[in-house]
């Protein structure tokens, strides 16, 4: 993917947790004396931010001291329900798997850009409803890698894709009215590799079939219809031939993108 604005290695690290006793004590003190800090207010480990906010360092914003940052998005269906799926704006994370602090392969120094801090499960819990995943063949399986030239290396590898897809499966089964979109930058060449992978992760039961996808700018079904039919997973691939070969929708038949191609560092 070449959306350059998302390739900045933005880092807002959460502060380390304090011991519970000290935290409760200081919360009592601070709630008596001062209002809880709001977004971008300075904070310290001894003063908690308001609800849904984290106290973190964000040098990318030019902040040298910890500030309260927002870690949650409002899911649009909680504001208005029942519209066609395409009438909503959903928060999607780019390279959702390229997470700071993900352990590298044993004995390998990872060399790549990081895009996220939350685990995929926490991204979903915090309101993300779309994941952009780069899938490669690697080590005899399909892996998530933040790599280049269509090839995954041990220093660009994150983990087998099935692990992340199982997180998605757990979220969909625990949240029966939520819908997730997965957009794959697809370097998988094994025939039926993707459809087998999603079936192994238990996601085939949620798969929204290509045959039901609208053409020519028609509206999608409503979110209620998708929930009632339990077709709550939309999967798109960057490889056109896979739509006919294995029923994975070709992304550019259904989507448009505002391109931003001045700098291209890494796929
Ligand atoms: C990483 O992969 C290279 C080949 O691409 C190999 O030579 C090297 O031993 C691997 N490193 C580890 C620690 O497995």
Q: Is the CB of 109 under 6 A from ligand 1?
A: no
Predicted confidence (pLDDT) at residue 214 exceeds the cutoff of 90:
yes
167 Cα: distance to centroid of ligand 1 (angstroms): 28
Phi then psi for residue 234, to 5 deg, are: -105, 130
- pTM of the predicted model, to two decimals? 0.77
The position carrying tokens 């290509």 is: 210
Condensed to tens digits (0 to 9), the pLDDT of residues 246-256 reads 999 999 999 98
13: three-class secondary structure by DSSP:
strand
Nearest residue by C-alpha to atom 2 in ligand 1: 154
Rounded distance between C-alpha atoms, residue 6 and residue 248, angstroms? 25
**Within 10 A of 187 (CB to CB), how many other CB atoms are there?**
21
Taking the CA atoms of the chain, what radius of gyration do you get in angstroms? 20
Q: How far is the CA of 108 from the centre of ligand 1 (A)?
A: 8
Ligand 1 contact via 108 beta carbon (within 6 Å): yes
Two tokens, residue 18? 């304090």
**Residue 160: partners with Cβ closer than 8 Å, 6 or more residues away:** 139, 141, 142, 143, 144
Beta-carbon-side half-sphere exposure of residue 11 (alpha carbons within 13 Å): 9
Cα–Cα dist 84/223, whole Å = 6
Q: pLDDT tens digits, residue range 94-106?
A: 999 998 888 899 9
Q: Are 251 and 238 in contact (CB under 8 A)?
A: yes
CB of 107 shorter than 6 A to ligand 1 = yes
Distance 160 CA to ligand 1 centre (A): 17
Which domains are assigned to the chain?
Answer: 13-71 (no CATH), 72-253 (3.20.20.190)
If DSSP codes are grouped into helix, strand and coil, which group holds residue 219?
A: coil
Choice among 35-44, 128-137, 212-221, 246-255 with the minimum mean pLDDT: 35-44
The Cα-based distances of 37 to 51, 66, 72, 198 in angstroms read 10, 11, 16, 43
Mutate to test the pocket of ligand 1, among 103, 105, 154, 155 (most ligand atoms within 8 A of CB): 154
Say which range, 70-79, 125-134, 238-247, has the weakest mean pLDDT.
70-79
Q: Which residue has the tokens 């929204």?
A: 208
């Amino acid at each position: 993917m070449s959306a350059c604005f998302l390739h900045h290695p933005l880092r807002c690290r959460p502060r380390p947790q304090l011991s519970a006793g000290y935290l409760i004590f200081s919360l009592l003190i601070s709630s008596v004396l001062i209002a809880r800090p709001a977004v971008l207010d300075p904070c310290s480990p001894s003063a908690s931010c308001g609800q849904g906010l984290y106290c973190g360092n964000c040098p990318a914003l030019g902040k040298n001291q910890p500030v309260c940052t927002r870690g949650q998005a409002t899911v649009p269906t909680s504001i208005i329900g029942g519209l066609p799926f395409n009438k909503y704006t959903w928060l999607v994370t780019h390279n959702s798997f390229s997470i700071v602090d993900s352990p590298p392969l044993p004995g390998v120094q990872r060399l790549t850009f990081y895009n996220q801090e939350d685990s995929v499960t926490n991204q979903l819990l915090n309101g993300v409803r779309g994941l952009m995943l780069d899938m490669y063949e690697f080590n005899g399986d399909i892996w998530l890698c933040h790599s280049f030239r269509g090839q995954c290396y041990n220093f660009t590898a994150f983990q087998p894709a099935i692990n992340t897809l199982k997180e998605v499966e757990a979220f969909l089964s625990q949240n029966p009215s939520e819908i997730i979109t997965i957009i794959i930058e697809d370097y998988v060449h094994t025939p039926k590799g993707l459809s087998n992978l999603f079936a192994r992760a238990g996601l085939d039961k949620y798969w929204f079939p290509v045959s039901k996808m609208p053409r020519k700018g028609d509206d999608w079904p409503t979110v209620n219809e998708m929930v009632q039919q339990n077709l709550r997973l939309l999967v798109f691939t960057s490889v056109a031939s896979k739509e006919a070969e294995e029923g994975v929708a070709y992304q550019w038949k259904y989507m448009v993108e505002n391109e931003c191609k001045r700098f291209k560092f890494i796929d």
